[in-house]
């Protein structure tokens, strides 16, 4: 499937009339071999289709979304390409890289690190928002003028911040249980202290801070389970909601009793998210 010469195909599997494929390439942004997965829907055989990026949470890989989220059915129905990158560079060799589940490998936080030694390779912001779209454009039947982005938890933080900082690049954004206000919670404090050289940089990677200053024209969809084990300590949807109200950002924040942080929650509301993006992306 991939036509880009530097992209190596791992496997490709038929799914809902399209193809789930696993690919790798040498990334300039991270200086490492990066993995990503792509679902190409049947409609792509008739010409380029819009692209929806999914950013996964802590400890996940490019496989998690394709295996657990049940999104291919809806992407096939609406004619969307789904792209899921890995969650960090791997095998860099920095001290402490593999010690904690919430820092280093599997925990890139979708920012460009400015603190040594992480700044050398941990550049997931540039990778996801700049390099990967070029790789996708070169290798897949993608209409990169029509891009959307969504994600879960750490990847929800990634999707919100990348969309808010690049309104010209993404026409739609949504998130499942995102880390909304990372500057104020343990996961975010650990990541930002580790990856960023100065505390003054934090607010530029915090969706609640960004949306308060500069809302999007299009509307944001967020789903949050009310039995989510990380809700109280890490996720802060109330702070994000308040900031949206202040700046006039249109937001649909749905709170679902009984649901937790897992892909059983995500798969339940996946159809609504794909429809949210399809409304903005599919003409």
Just list the catalytic residues.
153, 228, 261
Bond into 45 cis (ω within 30): no
Q: Which is nearer to a copy of itself, 30 or 66 (CB)?
A: 66
Among 94, 114, 268, 279, binds a copy of itself (CB under 8 A): 268
100: tokens are 């904690």
H/E segment holding residue 213:
helix 207-213
Q: Using the rule CB under 8 A, is 9 a contact of a copy of itself?
A: no
Minimal distance, residue 17 CB to a copy of itself, in Å: 8
What is the distance between the alpha carbons of residues 269 and 110, in angstroms, rounded to a whole number? 23
The contact pattern for a copy of itself, residues 226-245, with x = CB under 8 A and - = no contact, is -x------------------
What is the distance between the alpha carbons of residues 66 and 85, in angstroms, rounded to a whole number? 11
- Three-state DSSP state, 192: helix
Q: Using the rule CB under 8 A, is 189 a contact of a copy of itself?
A: no
Task: Number of residues interacting with a copy of itself: please give it, by CB under 8 A.
Answer: 24
Q: Which of 58, 102, 130 is nearest to 195 (CA)?
A: 102
Q: Using the rule CB under 8 A, is 15 a contact of a copy of itself?
A: yes
DSSP secondary-structure letter at 97? T
Among 72, 129, 224, 234, binds a copy of itself (CB under 8 A): 72
What is the distance between the alpha carbons of residues 23 and 21, in angstroms, rounded to a whole number? 7
Q: Using the rule CB under 8 A, is 1 a contact of a copy of itself?
A: no
DSSP secondary-structure letter at 112? B
Q: Which is nearer to a copy of itself, 37 or 129 (CB)?
A: 37
Q: Using the rule CB under 8 A, is 67 a contact of a copy of itself?
A: yes
- Whether 205 and 182 have beta carbons less than 8 Å apart is answered as yes
- Whether 251 and 217 have beta carbons less than 8 Å apart is answered as no
Q: Using the rule CB under 8 A, is 73 a contact of a copy of itself?
A: yes
**Which one of the spans 13-21, 28-36, 42-50, 240-248 is the region binding a copy of itself (CB under 8 A)?**
13-21
> What residues make contact with a copy of itself under the rule CB under 8 A?
13-17, 20, 66-68, 70, 72-73, 225, 227, 256, 258-260, 262-265, 267-268
């Amino acid at each position: 499937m991939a036509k880009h010469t530097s992209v190596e195909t791992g496997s490709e599997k038929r799914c809902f009339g399209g193809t789930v494929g696993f690919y790798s390439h040498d990334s300039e942004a991270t200086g490492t071999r990066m993995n990503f997965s792509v679902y190409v829907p049947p409609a792509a055989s008739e010409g380029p289709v819009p692209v929806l990026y999914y950013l996964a949470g802590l400890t996940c890989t490019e496989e998690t979304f394709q295996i657990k989220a049940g999104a291919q059915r809806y992407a096939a129905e609406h004619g969307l390409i789904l792209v899921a990158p890995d969650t960090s560079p791997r095998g860099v060799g920095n001290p402490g890289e593999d010690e904690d589940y919430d820092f280093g490998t599997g925990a890139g936080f979708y920012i460009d690190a400015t603190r040594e030694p992480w700044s050398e390779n941990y550049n997931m912001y540039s990778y996801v928002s700049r390099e990967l779209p070029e790789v996708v454009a070169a290798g897949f039947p993608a209409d990169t003028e029509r891009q959307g982005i969504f994600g879960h938890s750490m990847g929800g933080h990634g999707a919100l911040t990348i969309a808010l900082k690049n309104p010209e690049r993404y026409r739609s954004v949504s998130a499942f249980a995102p880390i909304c206000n990372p500057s104020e919670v343990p996961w975010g404090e650990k990541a930002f202290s580790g990856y960023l050289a100065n505390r003054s940089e934090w607010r530029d990677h915090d969706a609640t801070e960004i949306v308060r200053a500069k809302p999007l024209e299009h509307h944001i969809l967020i789903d949050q389970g009310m039995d989510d084990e990380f809700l109280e300590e890490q996720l802060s949807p109330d702070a994000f909601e308040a900031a949206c109200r202040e700046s006039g950002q249109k937001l649909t924040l749905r709170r679902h009793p009984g649901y937790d942080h897992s892909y059983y929650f995500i798969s339940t509301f996946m159809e609504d998210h794909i429809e949210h993006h399809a409304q903005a992306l599919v003409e």
